């Protein structure tokens, strides 16, 4: 790779690595293994507990089915994998283009409710560079979607940046706003440890709807019924952990574009459903985007050294 071309090569894991945990919404005990994959494979999930057609589901925006409190991918025959957003954010943050994820249940394990455990797994496995060039989705003109008081927007921009504003109308969260440029390791340092969150008074309703059955103070920040106090004994990891987690979710959901984004995302009181609608609206307008080689100057990941393994190159 020369300084003149400043081309980034695709990456995958150096070796397979796994973990076990509880599904946030299903409550199921789940084992998951991340495997290396060849160039241009992309990110794919494979349900090892299901045989036959549909067990492999590409991690793409057009495979998104359910967006209630999480992002769920649905393949043929209704086979699905839920709560993919935190893992997808970690893969994006570590610059992983190709990975096969084997999972023996309906949902990615929630771990501690953040992306940090998945970053740790990837770092332990190691990262290798392939010969194929990484491509990026360059935003050419603004695209926006709205619903009620919520909105999500993608705009042209150098590199990849995410800004978010939230206002939950309670003292424990209040109004929070943050903007970050996600390059040179910023995701790992500033966003990855932010945990998912919820409200004590919503637990019974969510569980009756088949959601949050695996949720606990071990894997989520929980605000008490008065809206004034965080119930977790150790408190918050950041003073604005709530908006940081919304940025984390957006990073994961946007990586379902199938490649890194070159542009700026802004979310206002939005969530998984609106981000997916934004990608669908973007891809419906061919004048709003272009696929281009990713350049070193615009790279999101700052993950340290990687090894070159031409035996795995495509």
Alpha-carbon distances, residue 4 vs 1, 7, 11, 222, 300 (angstroms): 9, 9, 21, 50, 19
100: which 2 tokens?
A: 């096969």
Distance CA 165, CA 183 (A): 20
Length of the chain: 314
Beta-carbon count within 10 A of 305 CB: 7
Distance CA 98, CA 11 (A): 6
Q: Any idea which residues carry the catalytic annotation?
A: 272
Distance CA 88, CA 222 (A): 23
3-state helix, strand, coil in the chain (%, to 5): 25, 35, 40
Exposure string for 223-258, b = 16+ CB within 10 A, e = fewer:
beeebeebebeeebbeebbbbbbbbbbbbbbbbbbb
């Amino acid at each position: 790779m020369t300084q003149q071309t400043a081309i980034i090569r695709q990456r995958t894991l150096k070796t397979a690595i796994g973990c076990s945990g509880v599904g946030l919404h299903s409550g199921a005990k789940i084992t998951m293994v991340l495997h290396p994959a060849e160039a241009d494979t992309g990110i794919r999930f494979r349900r090892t507990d299901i045989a036959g057609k549909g067990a492999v589901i590409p991690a793409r925006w057009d495979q998104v089915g359910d967006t209630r409190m999480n992002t769920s991918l649905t393949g043929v025959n209704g086979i699905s994998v839920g709560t993919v957003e935190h893992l997808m954010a970690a893969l994006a943050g570590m610059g992983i283009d190709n990975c096969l994820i084997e999972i023996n249940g309906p949902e990615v394990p929630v771990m501690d409710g953040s992306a940090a455990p998945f970053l740790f797994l990837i770092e332990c496995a190691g990262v290798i560079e392939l010969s194929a060039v990484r491509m990026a989705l360059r935003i050419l003109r603004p695209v926006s979607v709205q619903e009620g008081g919520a909105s999500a927007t993608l705009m042209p921009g150098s590199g990849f940046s995410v800004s978010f504003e939230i206002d939950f109308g309670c003292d424990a969260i209040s109004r929070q706003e943050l903007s970050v440029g996600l390059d040179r390791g910023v995701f790992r340092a500033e966003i990855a440890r932010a945990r998912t969150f919820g409200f004590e008074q919503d637990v019974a309703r969510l569980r009756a709807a088949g959601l949050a059955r695996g949720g606990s103070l071990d894997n989520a920040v929980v605000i008490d019924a008065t809206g004034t106090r965080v119930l977790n004994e150790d408190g918050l990891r950041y003073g604005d952990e709530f908006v940081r987690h919304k940025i984390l979710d957006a990073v994961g959901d946007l990586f379902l574009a199938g490649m890194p984004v070159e542009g700026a995302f802004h979310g206002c009181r939005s969530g998984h459903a609106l981000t997916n609608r934004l990608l669908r609206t973007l891809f419906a307008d061919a004048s709003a985007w272009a696929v281009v080689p990713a350049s070193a100057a615009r790279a999101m990941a700052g993950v340290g050294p990687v090894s070159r393994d031409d035996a795995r190159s495509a």
